[in-house]
Each structure stands twice: as structure tokens, then as C-alpha cells.
Amino acid sequence: MQYSDKRISDLLKPPYVDTASGDIGRQQLGASIKSVWTQPLPGEDTAPEQRIIHCRIVELAETVKLYRIGVRKALGYHKCGSHDDLDWITSFRLLAFNEGQWDTVRYEKGIHEPENDEIIWFDLNGVPASSVIIEARSCGIDEWWTGWNLTEDAFILEGSEPQNKLQRKENRHTSSVSLTDDLPDGLTAEMNAGEVRYRSRFLEVGFCLGKSGFSYLSLDETGNSKTERNLLRYQPGMNLQGIRLHPVGQHPFSGLFLRYEVDGKTSVNGNTVTYEMEIPQAGQTFRL
């Protein structure tokens, strides 16, 4: 099928957004992978009543046209002690979000095993969508239990290239800090760059001042103050802590990457940390 659009892109590989730290913090936005429980669909008569599958999730800030989806071989689930097996999708379902509802665009079953360099294409006929869910329903090796690796690399989703590029938005909270002397016995507190940090023999925990969420967390069940290892995943351009809000069909108001369109205040009073936040665009307020 021929399309008139000048620019067609793989919507599963959206453009990168640079962070203030350059290449060290470069992060990819858009398509993610989620594991979900599911029940059998029509045509899945031999499937378990409950099983876990994986999905590719595409969240865009505007409506685009979907042209075709391709499936190809990719790494399957790696079993302990085995070599890397190339698995393949044998059935999938694609759902598109448009005008406030989800619709099933394609539900394909009985897909044959591709050659190693083959892509099997299915037309989507330019259907409009602002968000997409691609469910990997079954596969050649692991059958009804589709894995993360396979779902990540098995699909290509071609559509019109979005024009509304995601812009950085990194609001910061105002803050007020009062570290009083009447902390609980055995607990100390101090201010560091952008955080307040508490320590005891068993625990070391830090709270961000500019955004909601932890900055540090370490435990020592022996009570020997061995809390030098941060258990949280922290890296430039990514914040896995605090509130997240990404309305379907819109840009994220508060997300993992470079998005924090929140009006907030952080208050520290002794060993109590309070976050008060408002997201005017969504009409929501939070107090943590």
C-alpha cells in the first residue's frame, strides 16, 4: 500500500530527548513494555484461564495514522544454562485509542515462523490513533507465555511521524526546611544538595526537595550503620520516584523522563516531610 505522507516512522522507536547532562543522560521516550494478566480471547481455546503476557505501549501527544505492523524473529526468554533462542510471535492483538475509546484494529492468529531476516507485514489502513497497545498473545517457543525480550524487539509499527515533539518541562518545588533538635532518639538529619537525609543505625533515607520522591534508601538490619549503598535506581534524565501522570492521548504531566509539569511545595519539619502538589492541567492535587 502506498501512502501520501512525506515522513513515515517506526512509532516504537520515537526520537531521543537530550538532557542537561548530554549523552550520559540521553533517554528514549514513548514506547514502553508492560506485563499484564490476561484471559483467553476467542480462538485461544487451549490457553490457560489466567496467564501473563507482555505488551508494547505507545503513548503519543497527538493523533497519527497507523499504516502497518510487522513481526520478526527476536530473542526469546533466556532459560538458565541455555543458549539464546530466537522466538517468534504466533498471535498478537493491536488496540488503538481514538476519540475517547479503545478499538481492536487487528487480531492475528496462526502466524508462521519467519525466516531469520524476514518481516511479516499486516496493513492497518491508516487508522487514527493517539495511543497503541500491541499485545503479544502467543509465541513459537514459549507458546502462551510471551516474554519481555521477544515483545521488545519482535514488532515494527509504521505510521505518520508525530509533529508535536515532546518538550522538556522540569518544574521545581519551593521548599521550607526546619531541622529541629527534637528528633526521635537515634535519628540524625542533615541537608545535602537538593535533599534532606536522615540516618539511624538501621536506616538511611533521603527525600528530594525539588520534586516529590526518595533520593536515597538503604537498610542495615544488623544495626551497624552499613548504609552506604543506595538501593534506588538513579541516573541522569530519569526519576523513578514520586507521582506519575500521563493521560491517554496527551503528553505526560509527570513522567520518568524530563517531564514535571507540577506546581509543588516541599515542607520539612523535624522528621516529617510533606509534599503538596497541584497539576492544574489535570485538575488534580496531591498531599504526600
pLDDT of residue 161: 85
DSSP secondary structure letters along 65-79: EEEEEEE--EE----
Provide Rg for the chain, Cα atoms: 23
Assigned C-alpha cell, 190: 542533615
Count of beta carbons in the 10 Å neighbourhood of residue 175:
16
Amino acid at 212: S
pLDDT of residue 239: 65
Show the low-confidence residues of the chain (pLDDT under 70): 1-6, 14-30, 78-83, 164-167, 234-239, 256-258
Count of beta carbons in the 10 Å neighbourhood of residue 161:
16
CB within 8 Å of 111: residues ≥ 6 apart: 71, 88, 89, 90, 91, 92, 120
Class of domain 8-160: mainly beta
Q: Are 223 and 248 in contact (CB under 8 A)?
A: no
Q: Where along the chain do its domains lie?
A: 8-160, 169-287
| Neighbouring-strand partners of residue 196 | 191, 207
Buried residues in 84-99 as b, exposed as e (16+ CB within 10 A): ebbbbbbbbbbbbbbe
pLDDT of residue 24: 47
CB within 8 Å of 110: residues ≥ 6 apart: 90, 91
DSSP secondary structure letters along 227-287: --S--S--BTTB--SS--B--TTS--SB-SSSEE--EEEEEEETTEEEEEEEEGGGTEEEE
pLDDT tens-digit readout, 131-152: 999 999 999 998 999 999 899 9
Enter the pTM of the model.
0.70
